[in-house]
Amino acid sequence: MKKQFLLGAFQLLAIVFAGRAQTTGQLTLDDCYKLALQNYPQVKQRELIAKTADYTIENIQKGYLPQLNINGQATYQSAVTAIPIKLPGVNIPTLSKDQYKLYGEFDQVVYDGGAIKQQKQLQKATEAVNQQQLETDLYQLKDRINQLFFGVLLVDQQLKQNDLVIKDVQLGYDKIQALIKNGTAFRSNGDVLLAELLQNKQQSINLHASRNAYTDMLSLFIGKTVDETTILIKPQPVNPSHEINRPELQGYDQQGKNLDVQNKLLTVQTLPKLNLFLQGGVSRPGLNFLSNSFDTYYIGGIRLTWSPSVFYTIKKSRALIDINRKSLDVQKETFLFNSNLTVKQQDADMGKFQRLLASDDEIINLRTRVKIRR
């Protein structure tokens, strides 16, 4: 019975400690980044962008397949072709002024000047721009995680410091109460310490409320409960790098590549196109224009198309692309300028936070040593 009781007790303790280990988890800043990227709804947009590009490219690729067009027309014309002579014993039919035509035509690309290829390249470039814009949006998520994570760390340090102050004031209040009972101190001295004690307890309430607000928002971002039992691991200080490596810069590069593809598409529009075609249908009149009855027919051959009118606008179109490229360069230069200012401000803030944390640690150590000496 004794062995069974000890075994049951050990099992109960194991369950308790296991449950406590699950609730008192640890979180690093990198953990929060990864969990936030897994949980944030906008991340789903990445797959949607890729699928959109795949479907669009597949549709463009089908431009190499034979294209079928079905056409029909019914017309009435004021005059028809007629032979202005009459031959004895020969009846030359007169064509009707109402004419009909229904036909289908297969069209097969032989040479398109690279139009389909460049359209696919343009779609890939557009996908890259959209994906990079998404990465830029998600990068902003890290800033919000930083604010919440370091906010909790700062509040924790302030809570530790405030708890030590409360213990010091409580100890002083207990001593002054003893002196008041002995008649060696005024009650007002005790009231002063009591007011200070209540103020620090109010401060503790405010700090706990702030911490709960930070942890609640952090929990929503990472999809994992962060509470009083969760330990946030303070990141190790690193030497700040002044090299700007933001996703916005890659986004500008992708937009530049998109403009390159648009410029190549303009060149493609100036080239001739060569197609094979096969047309078949029924019409009145048919290919035999002397027959005034419905007849089937077919025509096959090769078709060359070229539109010199594209040269009317190509110069201005290239100028517009150049303007967009210059505008993109201005945006990039402005972003780098503002980013350099932000880096300087972040360096100053980082130094301030590190000094505050170090100062809090020093204050906590001093108050702890004072309490131990007492």
Contact 134, 46 (CB under 8 A): yes
Does residue 138 register a pLDDT over 60? yes
pTM score: 0.70
Q: What's the pLDDT score for residue 184?
A: 74
**Residue 16 pLDDT level (bands cut at 50, 70, 90):** very low
Contact 84, 100 (CB under 8 A): no
pLDDT tens-place string over residues 290-349: 788 899 999 999 999 998 998 999 999 999 999 999 999 999 999 999 888 887 877 777
Does residue 12 register a pLDDT over 80? no
Measured in degrees and rounded to the nearest 5, phi and psi for residue 353 equal -65, -40
Beta bridge partners of 300: 278
As a whole number, mean pLDDT of residues 65-86 equals: 89
Scored b (16 or more CB within 10 A) or e, 300-318 reads eeeeeeeeeeeeeeeeebe
Could you tell me the sign of the dihedral formed by the alpha carbons of 152, 158, 163, 164, in that order? Answer: positive
CA distances to 102, 353, 361 from 5, in Å:
96, 53, 46
CA neighbor of 204 nearest in space, from 153, 162, 265: 162
Q: What's the pLDDT score for residue 218?
A: 93
Structure tokens at 39: 């949980």
Query: Is omega for the bond preceding 84 within 30 degrees of 0, making it cis?
Result: no
**What value does the mean pLDDT of the chain take?**
84
Within 10 angstroms of residue 207's Cβ, the number of other Cβ atoms is: 19
CA 269 to chain CA centroid, Å, is 33
Q: What's the pLDDT score for residue 3?
A: 39
The DSSP secondary structure of 281-311, one letter per residue, reads: EEEES-S-TT--S-EEEEEEEEEEE--GGGG
CA distance 226 to 26: 9
Beta bridge partners of 27: 232
Q: What's the pLDDT score for residue 255?
A: 94
As a whole number, mean pLDDT of residues 217-233 equals: 90
Domain residue spans in the chain?
21-75+95-373
Residue 78 falls in which region: left (phi positive, over 0), alpha (psi -120 to 50) or beta: alpha
- Using a pLDDT cut of 90, give the percent of the chain over it: 47
**Radius of gyration from C-alpha coordinates of the chain:** 41
Does residue 371 register a pLDDT over 60? no
The DSSP secondary structure of 244-260, one letter per residue, reads: ---HHHHHHHHHHHHHH
CA neighbor of 220 nearest in space, from 140, 134, 148, 146: 148
pLDDT tens-place string over residues 284-305: 988 887 788 899 999 999 999 9
CATH number assigned to the domain covering 21-75+95-373:
1.20.1600.10
Q: What's the pLDDT score for residue 372?
A: 56
Structure tokens at 160: 């530790």
Q: What's the pLDDT score for residue 374?
A: 53
- Cα–Cα–Cα angle for 92, 97, 102, rounded to 5 degrees: 105
